Amino acid sequence: MNEGKERVINEVTFAETMMRKGFDNLTEEGTVVSPMQGLAAARQYHSFMKDVGESERAEKLLQQLDRIIKTVREVVSPEQMELIVSRLDGSDEEDEQEVLDVDVDEDEEDVFTPEFEKDERDTLEVE
């Protein structure tokens, strides 16, 4: 390399330079863009816009989550906050599901069986 012309070039710098040169060439009088080049540019533009939209959506979701967290901290008591944190950490697994201890009577005579009266407005058939 010539003295004074040594530069550190990375992928981003190279792409930026190519983009500038391409734009300069594109804006010159008499430049012709083929249909295939136009289609490729449209696809690339669509891809960029889709990425921007997804990024903005993620940012909005994070902002909403931040508001929810702040509101919960303001509203719940310290005891409730401890319970919430323990559930999120998974350290409260034994209380995760309340188990009811009930006796089940297997006698069929005590089983509730509802009876229905026929309603003329009802279009469904009941057996």
- The whole-angstrom separation of Cα 59 and Cα 125 is 52
* pLDDT top residue among 127 and 37: 37
Question: Is the per-residue pLDDT at 94 higher than 80?
Answer: no
Which domain covers residue 79, as residue numbers?
51-88
| 6, amino acid identity | E
Query: Which helix (H) or strand (E) element contains residue 36?
Result: helix 35-75
- The whole-angstrom separation of Cα 43 and Cα 35 is 12
pTM (2 d.p.): 0.36
Domain contains 57: yes
User: What angle do the packed helices 35-75 and 78-89 form, to 10 degrees?
Assistant: 130
| Structural domains counted in the chain | 1
- The whole-angstrom separation of Cα 49 and Cα 45 is 6
Question: Is the per-residue pLDDT at 105 higher than 70?
Answer: no
Domain contains 64: yes
- pLDDT given at position 64: 92
Tell me which of 9-13, 49-53, 72-76, 89-93 is least confident. 89-93
Domain contains 35: no
Whether the CB-CB separation of 96 and 104 falls below 8 Å is answered with no
Question: Is the per-residue pLDDT at 109 higher than 70?
Answer: no
Domain contains 82: yes
Domain contains 63: yes
- pLDDT given at position 67: 92
pLDDT one-digit tens code per residue, 36-87: 888 888 888 888 888 888 888 888 899 999 999 899 888 989 888 888 888 8
Using CA atoms, how far residue 41 sits from 1, 33, 45, in Å, is 34, 10, 6
Q: Residue for token digits 């901290």?
A: 73
- pLDDT given at position 104: 63
